[in-house]
Structure 1
């Protein structure tokens, strides 16, 4: 944590995500300033009300926008290998299935710890450059006790938000014996992986794990102190959302295909609906209807799903643009989902907003407003990023 005290002055538009500080759900403050002390937000508001002598160092935002750092609550960063040929084939008409995961499993098992470490470092740095200051990362490309455990150890070197996903798919050596693999995931693999994890996840989908298997795995994880998350409804309707809500999961992710009962369950629970438009973009699949979830009252998060097969991007602004263009979200809703929504999906209160006491994770845009994140898709608008009050771009 930084011990510096500084002021960001002359902010054209400040997104705080605190309605008590500014307008609407984004808590938008025009002609604003923000004071950071010891890595935390000490004051935020209109420049006209800025406290005198609050900070020794001054940054001039030059009339540009400042937002909270993006919170990417769903990513798969520990892997090896390349699946660009699979992407090429998909763009030529081959449909997406979960089977390609096994290609990455083989490459990941063959990689050294240092190769995995280098790849995670590269992706975290790439994400940081585009404004992501908090990222979750899963295992799921090892699928042996040893490879899942080392994947989680590597992930934990770069983030506190580490998820055990031994139940990604059934590996080749267990084909035809899914119950035996579930027993491993709930037993020796969980024993090895729980000490390195905060979360437990299951790919509840045809071709992966059914509702009963998902429930058994998540229940075993809860007994070891891990909090559930669920891959649900990516390829078609299924039991994933119902199981997630039943077990108090922090999030149900993808949720592309939802029944009315699923929407109602999410809206009446604390389980966040995490939308991953990068996956739909990269698989030419139908986008989820965020409007349906928002209008029902569900909490919605937006994340990248960065992985080598179906969404190889770390860029949250790209996902914001997709959400606005193809998922019926407003620019404000998409930004909120990619910041405070992601924090809710990770059950974090210290990130995703810029109220007093929040972690000083900030993004300075080369734009006068957050609207430009969707208005100018593909343009590198991030000028500076602060994490824990420390500037990280040079």
Structure 2
């Protein structure tokens, strides 16, 4: 019997035929596809993008029959907000409009399936101390909680929009983001309310850490997270998450939190096995979580459990890079048959990057992935971590979310780290960069 998936999203609203302005497109291009905004509109005209040196489709039935479904000398047709056709450019059908890719590569838009973007302030002093080898006793996540609680809604949304602009410019067309820096009923709900104006992939993370207000009574905080706070947050979220780690929430607490969320229609995800070995990965598999994130400290039993489940191992190399921590062993997971996603974990404390291309380069250089595997994991893998089949691939019926690279091959994303290679972005059929 197949476990039930996450709740369905509303069908996209029809959009008028208009081109977005640059400023408005930055905000609306990353918004929910249900947003009724002229700047989020897809043309009813068809568009042929041709003269593509290498097209990554992520359909193994196409092109070279690899997992990337790589087509050389390719073309793709966009009709409205969907992909209508992909194939050899010599066989491309007639369309209303035509774009010359100039012999460059095209890939699916990146799917960033793990981020923490609703926050205020930064933790520069903490990072500087860590990189200098000095002790640092300030509050970590609690520092961000205090700044976030003090911020206005407008400040939080402006901050979120800033990081979405960064991500979009680097090819991210779908993102998930979480609460977790409010840790009160009101502050968690407003974080999710703000996030839901920009994405469908909203995650309730009241269980990020035990709130400082309940430091002496963690059980009371778990009761709040599974009770009043859940009631206030569930209407804005699709997912529920918990940081299952020593110093945060143990296995029993995490199970109670995720089970309560499932009862309210939220599907589980979990921060698992980041700082040490723990029960997080096994709990993720037990509860059919869409994703177990971090996955640094794993036993053979953990790897086997992931390989025999629907749960995706989402690796977050920005966190290891920014904290000089042990790298996850992506090669071990891939060789065992585990589905792997790559994401930024963008947050102000341990991974302050919005760049999926940077994470692709790190995964190849430090985690044992090939360039093909890293690009697949940052696109199709991210889609699987969100249990989506309408993004992360460029095949007929999928959303027309794609990135044009200033390079002849996707391999350049790892080959030329730090270089801004994304030169064009389409989301839902609209060119937004």
What TM-score comes out, normalization by structure 1 length? 0.98
Question: In the alignment, is the contact (CA less than 8 A) between 1:68 and 1:361 conserved in 2?
Answer: yes
The answer to whether 1:380 aligns with 2:380 is no
CA–CA distance in structure 2, aligned partners of residues 301 and 96 of structure 1: 32
For 1:4, the equivalent position in structure 2 comes to 45
Question: In the alignment, is the contact (CA less than 8 A) between 2:109 and 2:425 conserved in 1?
Answer: yes
Question: In the alignment, is the contact (CA less than 8 A) between 2:180 and 2:208 conserved in 1?
Answer: yes
Post-superposition Cα deviations, 1:239-269, rounded to whole Å, max 9, x if no partner, equal 0001111011000000011111110110000
Post-superposition Cα deviations, 1:173-209, rounded to whole Å, max 9, x if no partner, equal 1112100000000000000000000000000001100
2:230 is aligned, of 190, 211, 236, to 190
1:239-250 matched pairs, under 5 angstroms: 239-250=279-290
For 1:45, the equivalent position in structure 2 comes to 87
The 3-state SS of whatever aligns with 1:12 is: strand
For 1:13, the equivalent position in structure 2 comes to 54
Question: In the alignment, is the contact (CA less than 8 A) between 1:71 and 1:132 conserved in 2?
Answer: yes
Post-superposition Cα deviations, 1:313-340, rounded to whole Å, max 9, x if no partner, equal 0000000000000000000000000000
Question: In the alignment, is the contact (CA less than 8 A) between 2:126 and 2:138 conserved in 1?
Answer: no
For 1:284, the equivalent position in structure 2 comes to 324
For 2:63, the equivalent position in structure 1 comes to 22
CA–CA distance in structure 2, aligned partners of residues 363 and 198 of structure 1: 26
Q: CA deviation at 1:98?
A: 11
1:309 is aligned, of 346, 349, 352, to 349
1:140 is aligned, of 167, 175, 180, to 180
Q: CA RMSD in A?
A: 1.2
What TM-score comes out, normalization by structure 2 length? 0.89
For 2:277, the equivalent position in structure 1 comes to 237
For 2:130, the equivalent position in structure 1 comes to 90
Question: In the alignment, is the contact (CA less than 8 A) between 2:399 and 2:429 conserved in 1?
Answer: yes
Q: CA deviation at 1:48?
A: 2.0
Residue-pair matches, total:
391
For 1:172, the equivalent position in structure 2 comes to 212
CA–CA distance in structure 2, aligned partners of residues 96 and 281 of structure 1: 18
CA–CA distance in structure 1, aligned partners of residues 61 and 114 of structure 2: 29
After superposition, the Cα gap between the structure-2 partners of 1:289 and 1:183, relative to the gap in structure 1 and judged at 3 Å, is: same
For 2:199, the equivalent position in structure 1 comes to 159
The answer to whether 1:210 aligns with 2:250 is yes
Unaligned runs of 5+ in 1: none
Question: In the alignment, is the contact (CA less than 8 A) between 2:129 and 2:136 conserved in 1?
Answer: no
Unaligned runs of 5+ in 2: 1-40
Question: In the alignment, is the contact (CA less than 8 A) between 1:169 and 1:203 conserved in 2?
Answer: yes
Post-superposition Cα deviations, 1:13-51, rounded to whole Å, max 9, x if no partner, equal 000000111121100000000000011100001112222
2:405 is aligned, of 351, 365, 375, to 365
1:258 is aligned, of 291, 298, 303, to 298
The 3-state SS of whatever aligns with 2:289 is: coil
1:200 is aligned, of 240, 245, 260, to 240
Post-superposition Cα deviations, 1:290-314, rounded to whole Å, max 9, x if no partner, equal 0000000000000000000000000
CA–CA distance in structure 1, aligned partners of residues 259 and 138 of structure 2: 24
Question: In the alignment, is the contact (CA less than 8 A) between 2:126 and 2:136 conserved in 1?
Answer: no
Q: CA deviation at 1:7?
A: 0.4
Question: In the alignment, is the contact (CA less than 8 A) between 1:124 and 1:158 conserved in 2?
Answer: no
Q: Which moved more, 1:19-28 or 1:147-156?
A: 19-28
